[in-house]
């Protein structure tokens, strides 16, 4: 089951020529979960190899404009394409009130938009994973999101199965956790042929936040922590005033939370990226500062470590294809 | 006095990978007038060699979301930069009501935003030109804009001035329209040394519209007409239903209005550009379909014809510079 994190917008507060405002896509198997939707996100999707897919769920971290201003236009575009499938938008308390204002912009849609306000500590149970929420320290109604896969069955011990005389057709049952009865009447239980359950993957999206013990706990032992680094540490005072973090602070938190891989985002427009990475790596070497259209692959731990794929979803000019007729709108 | 038209967003209704929603900048001398401001316009400016300059005036053609959704984010960005200079936004009736909704998004600003509702036929008098408004046929409250320079003084006839005995220091006065008295008491009037007044330039921005006799009159003898061509003529029925134009119709209008140069924009996402240009040129050869970041230079008629500069404001990678410290925001 593939899992990756696609960076669609990595600027803080205001866009730059290189970086769009906040937006991030988590892809797991066929699922596409969008986290935050800054101005221009629909076009960032169109400019990527992902395309403007029929998202089913959008998760908003908080209601500063750079995190949601792409929603009205994207909702409108879906409607102009004649979308019929529901869309659910999650966010902290205040979501419903915000949409009573935004509705004036996007008007009547061709599909239903469901709004779900989430409190810190809420858990959304999904097929194979949970999304849990926590409270970042940003001074406003906000939630961070922890994507936590459920443990997988242990490794199948082929030698043990051979020794017990379990034939291949019955091995699948054991692997799925069921006991079987052999022809001679002996019962074989899964724990006789399976190793200990293997952990799932954990990806934590902290959102905009000052350094916070709550975020630290939420991030504990994550494969990937996506944390903001709006400033360098020389601007720590400004970071405190605005409830943001410095690269150094984010790195300290990643180290203390024992995460595997740290991705820094939400850069102030005074920074370009390399200086943010350099500062963080003095504390936490496995740090990257993704650009827009970069991807972080998150393999199962036994298959390797998370890695940054530069321009992983950047669309080459020759990949531009004619839009599907059914997606065309006036 | 340089005059050009910068295409920042040329898509219709929804963005594509190549085209942002509507936005167009008219540059005359040091003036920068933005017409429409679709989602992502602030970033289109940042991605261009124009930069996100401190615009003083924005002109909205109508209130479909693809024409104004970039305003809240841009206003917010200006405020985060600490802007103090006023900004005036013009638009058809309904502008004030729209902003009472949008205010919820951009909140308190550091500068004053003035809103001015314009009726068709209003004239804004400027230094050297007028902006006049007219009513496109789009089925909603809307205005088109005609940018019309005032006539310039006629060409100075050096031989006539020599023959009359007018010395160089006094020629400037005559050129500015003042009579002078020579040492021998003779009076020389401007018309003795100036040719007939030379026409200024006219650029007409029709906005979203079905073919319309009002637009045709407004566009008469314009150097440049920017007209929408949302569809090819094979979709004429769809154009009627949505109060848009086909490339053929726009070309017919340009021909009938005797304009010099036609720029087609607001393309449906089913088209790429060349097919729109081909169709229009069967009727009106001097047609272009600008891409984002293309520019149309509009010289005075005695100096040449309008011409398309492909990628005229596209920023090359090496031109990316560090933002000015005073423009940096968290």
Q: Please state the ipTM of this predicted complex.
A: 0.91
Instruction: Take residue A185 and report the two structure tokens written for it.
Output: 């009447």
The residue-averaged pLDDT of B290-306 equals 96
Per-residue confidence band for B328, with pLDDT thresholds at 50, 70 and 90 = low
**Number of other residues whose CB lies within 10 A of the CB of residue B101:** 14
- Higher per-residue pLDDT: A178 or B205: B205
Give, in degrees to the nearest 5, the angle at Cα B152 between B147 and B158. Answer: 160
Helix or strand (DSSP H, E) at A279: helix A274-281
- Residue A132 phi/psi, 5-degree rounding, is -110, 150
Q: What is the pLDDT, as a whole number, of residue A327?
A: 59
Share of chain B above pLDDT 90, in %: 87
- Angle between helix B95-106 and helix A95-106 axes, rounded to 10 deg: 150
Q: Catalytic site residues of B? A: 66
The answer to whether B58 touches B71, Cβ cutoff 8 Å, is yes
Query: Which range scores top for mean pLDDT: A157-166, B40-49, B310-319?
Result: B40-49
The answer to whether B229 touches B247, Cβ cutoff 8 Å, is yes
The closest of B77, B74, B212, B199 to B143, measured between CA atoms, is: B212
- Judge whether residue B321 has pLDDT over 80: no
* Cα B37 off chain centre by: 13
Find where tokens 């992502």 sit.
B40
Long-range contacts of B274-279 (CB under 8 A, 24+ apart): B275/B232, B276/B229, B276/B232, B276/B247, B277/B247, B279/B232, B279/B233, B279/B246, B279/B247, B279/B248, B279/B251
A-B C-beta contacts closer than 8 Å: 130
Find the catalytic residue in A66, A208, A286, A294: A66
The closest of A80, A77, A100, A99 to A90, measured between CA atoms, is: A99
A230, A320, A329: residue with CB nearest B14: A329
Q: Do B43 and A323 touch (CB under 8 A)?
A: no
Instruction: Take residue B109 and report the two structure tokens written for it.
Output: 């600003």
Helices assigned H by DSSP within B209-273? 213-219, 236-241, 247-256
Q: What is the pLDDT, as a whole number, of residue B316?
A: 81
Q: Do B15 and A272 touch (CB under 8 A)?
A: no
- Judge whether residue B324 has pLDDT over 50: no
Min Cα distance B6 → chain A (Å) is 17
Min Cα distance B172 → chain A (Å) is 46
Helices assigned H by DSSP within B51-167? 71-80, 95-106, 158-164
The count of C-alpha atoms lying within 13 angstroms of the C-alpha of A312, restricted to the half-sphere facing its C-beta, is 17
pLDDT tens-place values along chain A, 330 residues long: 999 999 999 999 999 999 999 999 999 999 999 999 999 999 999 999 999 999 999 999 999 999 999 999 999 999 999 999 999 999 999 999 999 999 989 999 999 999 999 999 999 999 999 999 999 999 999 999 999 999 988 989 999 999 999 988 888 889 888 999 998 899 999 999 999 989 999 999 999 999 999 999 999 999 999 999 999 999 999 999 999 999 999 999 999 999 999 999 999 999 999 999 999 999 999 999 999 999 999 999 989 999 999 999 999 865 555 544 445 665
pTM strictly above 0.90:
yes
Helix (H, G, I), strand (E, B) or coil at A112: coil
Nearest CA in chain B to A77: B14
Give, in degrees to the nearest 5, the angle at Cα B208 between B203 and B211. Answer: 85
Q: What is the pLDDT, as a whole number, of residue B168?
A: 84
Q: Do B101 and A106 touch (CB under 8 A)?
A: no
pLDDT (tens digit per residue) in B105-160: 999 999 999 999 999 999 999 999 999 999 999 999 999 999 999 998 888 999 99
Nearest CA in chain B to A14: B77
How far apart, in whole angstroms, are the C-alpha atoms of residue A208 and residue A224?
16
Q: What is the pLDDT, as a whole number, of residue B319?
A: 57
Residues from chain B that touch A320, judged by Cβ atoms under 8 A, are 17-18
- Judge whether residue B327 has pLDDT over 90: no
**DSSP bridge pairs for B116:** B90
pLDDT (tens digit per residue) in B239-286: 999 999 999 999 999 999 999 999 999 999 999 999 999 999 999 999
Residue B301 CB contacts under 8 Å (≥ 6 apart), including other chains: B198, B199, B201, B223, B260
Helix (H, G, I), strand (E, B) or coil at B21: strand
Per-residue confidence band for B326, with pLDDT thresholds at 50, 70 and 90 = very low
Q: Please count the residues of chain B.
A: 330
Min Cα distance B268 → chain A (Å) is 5
SS3 content of chain A, % helix, strand, coil (to 5): 30, 25, 45
Q: What is the pLDDT, as a whole number, of residue B272?
A: 96
The closest of A192, A169, A189, A168 to A179, measured between CA atoms, is: A189
Q: What is the mean pLDDT of chain B?
A: 94
The closest of A24, A20, A29, A31 to A5, measured between CA atoms, is: A24
Helix (H, G, I), strand (E, B) or coil at B129: strand
Q: Do B323 and A70 touch (CB under 8 A)?
A: no
Catalytic residue status for A66: yes
The closest of B150, B153, B152, B133 to B141, measured between CA atoms, is: B133
């Amino acid at each position: 089951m593939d899992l990756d994190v696609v960076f669609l917008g990595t600027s803080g507060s205001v866009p730059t020529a290189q970086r769009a405002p906040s937006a991030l896509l988590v892809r797991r198997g066929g699922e596409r979960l969008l986290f935050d939707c800054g101005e221009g996100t629909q076009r960032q999707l169109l400019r990527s190899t992902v395309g403007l897919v029929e998202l089913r769920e959008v998760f908003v971290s908080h209601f500063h404009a750079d995190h949601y201003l792409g929603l009205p236009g994207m909702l409108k575009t879906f409607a102009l394409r004649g979308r019929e499938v529901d869309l659910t938008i999650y966010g902290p308390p205040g979501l419903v009130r915000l949409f009573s204002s935004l509705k004036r912009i996007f008007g009547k849609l061709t599909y239903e938009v469901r709004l779900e306000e989430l409190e810190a500590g809420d858990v959304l149970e999904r097929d194979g994973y949970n999304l849990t929420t926590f409270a970042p320290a940003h001074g406003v109604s906000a939630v961070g999101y922890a994507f936590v896969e459920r443990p997988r069955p242990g490794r199948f011990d082929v030698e043990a199965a051979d020794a017990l005389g379990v034939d291949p057709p019955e091995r699948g049952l054991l692997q799925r956790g069921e006991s079987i009865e052999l022809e001679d009447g002996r019962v074989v239980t899964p724990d006789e042929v399976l190793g200990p359950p293997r952990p799932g993957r954990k990806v934590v999206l902290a959102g905009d936040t000052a350094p916070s013990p709550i975020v630290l706990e939420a991030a504990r032992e994550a494969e990937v922590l996506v944390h903001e680094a709006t400033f360098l540490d020389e601007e720590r005072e400004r970071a405190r005033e605005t409830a943001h973090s410095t690269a150094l602070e984010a790195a300290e938190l990643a180290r203390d939370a024992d995460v595997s891989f740290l991705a820094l985002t939400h850069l102030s427009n005074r920074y370009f990226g390399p200086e943010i990475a350099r500062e963080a790596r003095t504390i936490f070497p496995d740090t990257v500062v993704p650009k827009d259209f970069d991807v972080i692959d998150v393999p199962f731990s036994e298959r390797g470590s998370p890695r940054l794929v530069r321009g992983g979803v950047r669309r080459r000019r020759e990949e531009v294809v004619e839009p599907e007729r059914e997606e065309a709108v006036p």
